[in-house]
Structure 1
Amino acid sequence: MMKKQLIMEKALELFAEQGFEATSVQQITEHCGISKGAFYLSFKSKDELILALIDNFMMQITSDIDCSVRNTNDDGELLYNFYYATFNAFHKHSDFVKIIIKEQTQSFNKELIFKIHYYNRLIEGIILSMIERLYGEEVKYIKYDLIYCIKGFMNTYSELFLFYNLPLDLNKLSQSLVEKTTILARYTTVPFISQELIQMFKEPMEEEVTKEQILELAEEKIGEIEESIEKESLILLKQHLLEPTLSRAIVKGLLENIRNHSQCKWISYLLRRYFEF
């Protein structure tokens, strides 16, 4: 395991127990069995480590949801797959989700809050594309209300198994929320959130990720991954990014090869968007 990854995993254990503020770099290094010097070779500060953890977590959640939506060809299954992927991801990373929810209400770190808002905006974009695909012009005036209703379902129902330890039946939960969302889409007639209102309280998004940044990230991941079908696929995708020679069917297959690898989820998400899959 790479030292940076070890630090992130061990720090997460401490953050889950104590929270961000109460956990010191000294405690993290002792828990990892490394020196402070080794820590600072990987991270400039505890805040940088926290941001790296949030990046890693939000990248995985966003890419899982986006992949579920993009890979669902049957519109009748789209909402179900969206909710199932969402709550499965929350459940899989439940310890860190609890930390994020808690720290959002206590932290005054502007960069931390910005990170969370940035990925939140990406997820809103995925939801909007799903709504427009499913309902089209029928929800022209209420689509932004629907985004916030769906986000409300995501947040509220996740609390049931995150904080109350209720048994999680992903199938039943997803079916239930599909029914609720469909009713709202069909029968809501009084819109509250307009596009103009959305623009008033949204912060500017970071600039779109460039081809050069994707290439740099791909090179980094190729260096980190051991020899495997995922590494070979990523090498081919990088070459195709530099000089497009592969068919869309082959590119889609290569993306499918890397999408479930823990270190490739974000690069997979970026490549899917770049190649418009």
Structure 2
Amino acid sequence: MIDRHPWLDALAHAVLIIGVLVVAFPVYVAVIASTHGPNDFMSGLVPLLPGGEMVANYRSMLTDGLSSSGAPPLGGMLLNSLVMALAIAFGKIVISILSAYAIVYFRFPFRAVAFWMIFITLMLPVEVRIVPTFKVVADLGLLDSYAGLTIPLIASATATFLFRQFFLTVPDELMEAARIDGAGPLKFFRDILLPLSRTNIAALFVILFIYGWNQYLWPLMVTTTSSHYTIVMGIKRMSDVADALPQWNVVMTTVVLAMLPPVIVVVGMQRLFVKGLIETEK
């Protein structure tokens, strides 16, 4: 048994507080900067106290955008990012769980080879295969479309591996009992495996939603019109302006709005997310 000492507790709390401050301070700066006008940054210093332009900044960016950098209103970009993130998250989960189910519960030739062929794609991230993937998307006429934004990013070796590892821990007696009761493969999958996988699905959904939301390189490649810009692309366009200083107040407004959906997803699914990561026995 480990003895507890007051000074160790104080040290642990001090480390936690410092860690929280280090993580939270940039977010605080972004929120405060989004409440100021453009002239408040002329001195080169970022204000640390709230300003009085918060409502005007958020209203103008949601409805008008920033014409000087070619950024459309944030409402459309937020919608594009939301569609992309949800499509990638749900698509990856559906394809991965079905792939893992087939690999674990069906006996077919070269199933181990099929799994390892899926698994070794971890060595081929989007950045490595982006040129041939772009060529295929362009030839299929999917540029400037939600299909072009999402379909090439849907396959996931990581999620397939995680579902496979979980299915291997499910007792064979469950499958035998379901077979005796007359349940076919689809009924066994729907009524037994899916409910057991609920926490795993929730944890993967949070991770994959954030992955899809934060995508920058691929949307930059396949979108040529502002109607399909994502919010991450909008931040980059606003911070890169020619022959002028960035309007940091609206840039930070965009940053704050871009942070909200992932934060809402993480906070709303926190319990299932943590449970899905740490739970090993069902």
- Scaled by the length of structure 2, what TM-score is found? 0.22
- Scaled by the length of structure 1, what TM-score is found? 0.22
Higher Cα radius of gyration? 2
